[in-house]
Structure 1
Amino acid sequence: MGYLSLVGAIAAEVAATTAMKYSDGFSRPAPALLTALGYLVSFALLAHTLKTVSIGTAYAIWSGAGTAAIALLGLVLFGEGLGPAKIAGMLLIVAGVVVLNMGGAH
């Protein structure tokens, strides 16, 4: 159940960050409110996750998956570039999460 909460936390964080972009510096009330609510839900679900998943593993997955998802959404929704450096960075994030999980498997 912890990993299901973590998936929800990641989705809420990605939605909140995307809404923040649409808020135009918090000058648009609806996206600004969605940003605040999304982060509130994300942190609540992350806290719930930490009841059953180690903090290092949970945070690595939450931040890594969120970062990669936002980079891809930036490409799709906002026309941001995806060069070799961004690709390498996302691969390093995934590799880091895998290594952290392997280290916690003992």
Structure 2
Amino acid sequence: MDRTKTEIRLERRGHRGRYVIDMPSGEPAELTFVESGPGHIIVDHTWVPQEYRGRGIAEKLVVRAVEDARAGGVKITPLCRYVATEFRRHKDWADVLKN
């Protein structure tokens, strides 16, 4: 999969949302979240189909969520273990981390 041409789509339904990458296999990669209040989301899940793991796909989803949070003045609580790990690795994301 070409990392430079990955399109990430944001879908919303009420207070729930997800970032989606359509994978060639037909099964999408996704990061899901819940808006828990004004200016706050809880990221609760990431998923990448087995055959695409280890290629930076989940990280692209988290980066997009962080970029959108910054642009919208939103704080993130990472309940998903993968996302929490990424926040620990990227100290420069502290501005969007909900304490």
Q: Which structure shows the higher strand fraction?
A: 2
**Structure 1 length normalisation: TM-score?**
0.35
Structure with more of its chain in helix, by fraction = 1
Output the TM-score relative to the length of structure 2: 0.37
Q: With a CA cutoff of 8 Å and minimum separation of 6, indicate the structure with the bigger relative contact order.
A: 1
**Which has the higher Rg, Structure 1 or Structure 2?**
1
